[in-house]
Amino acid sequence: MLLTETIKNSTSAITKRRTAQESKQNAENYGKAITQLDQTTLMIRATLECANALKEKGIVSSPVMDGDTRAEILDSLDSCGIGIEEMNLSVETVKLLRSKGEAFFTKIKIVWKDAARKYSEGTTGYLSMIAGLSPDPKKARELAESITRAADGDPSVKAIDGLVANVQEAKKITDAFALNPEIETFLKKVSSQQATVLDLTPSILAWLKEKNLTNKLKLRF
């Protein structure tokens, strides 16, 4: 065999081997991309469910997702879909989709911090004031703390459902006390240990007797 033919055959063998190696590498990269896409779509689905729950449960009055965010996520999803159809989905394409989903979740967290606080702070404030006067002070305080923890934590469908349920439970307790401005001021003073005998006006005393709370108040020097 001539040297030129030997070189040609060797070159052909190297090319075939390189092509096989590249095909294997491409297959491995495609497999990684598919795995990451599965994880990313689960994350985005959970984020969308969270956004929908915020609106459905009345935590926010308008949808969290705007048109631009929706278009960006759909565009990235389309790119991933094309990559799957053409069997060339890349990890970089999936990373771009994930970054869009993470950016949206960051927005939801910002919205949640403000909206959850506004949704619950009035009820939590009342509950904290009357906790010691309620039939079960320990339960009332734990309920108020649970509401605060939920509002301070990250949003999720479970957290949203829990916040709504706890606020509703808290309202059942606070509604039984029928607080007017004078009573509310008095209870704030009691809660901060600033109330005095002078604060026990006839109307306050009448309210305490009506609610059978006279034996729950203590005087201290």
Tell me: the pLDDT tens digits for 38-86? Answer: 999 999 999 999 999 999 999 999 999 999 999 999 999 999 989 888 8
Give the predicted TM-score (pTM) of the model.
Answer: 0.74
- Indicate if 41 and 148 belong to the same structural domain: yes
Tell me: the pLDDT tens digits for 155-200? Answer: 999 999 999 999 999 998 888 876 788 888 887 787 677 888 888 8
- Indicate if 27 and 113 belong to the same structural domain: yes
Distance CA 221, CA 196 (A): 10
Nearest to 126 by CA among 106, 147, 99: 147
Q: Give the pLDDT confidence score for residue 9 in this predicted structure.
A: 46
- Indicate if 149 and 46 belong to the same structural domain: yes
Tell me: the pLDDT tens digits for 98-144? Answer: 999 999 999 999 999 999 999 998 888 888 878 877 888 899 999 99
Please report, for the chain, how many H helices and E strands are present, in that order. Answer: 7, 0
Q: Give the pLDDT confidence score for residue 27 in this predicted structure.
A: 77
- Indicate if 88 and 197 belong to the same structural domain: no
- Indicate if 107 and 136 belong to the same structural domain: yes
- Indicate if 35 and 95 belong to the same structural domain: yes
Distance CA 31, CA 25 (A): 10
- Indicate if 28 and 113 belong to the same structural domain: yes
- Indicate if 54 and 108 belong to the same structural domain: yes
More confident residue, 5 or 220: 220
Number of domains in the chain: 2
- Indicate if 25 and 74 belong to the same structural domain: yes
Residues spanned by the domain of 188 = 178-221
- Indicate if 149 and 80 belong to the same structural domain: yes
Nearest to 180 by CA among 188, 172, 168: 188
Nearest to 89 by CA among 39, 36, 40: 36
- Indicate if 144 and 49 belong to the same structural domain: yes
- Indicate if 185 and 159 belong to the same structural domain: no
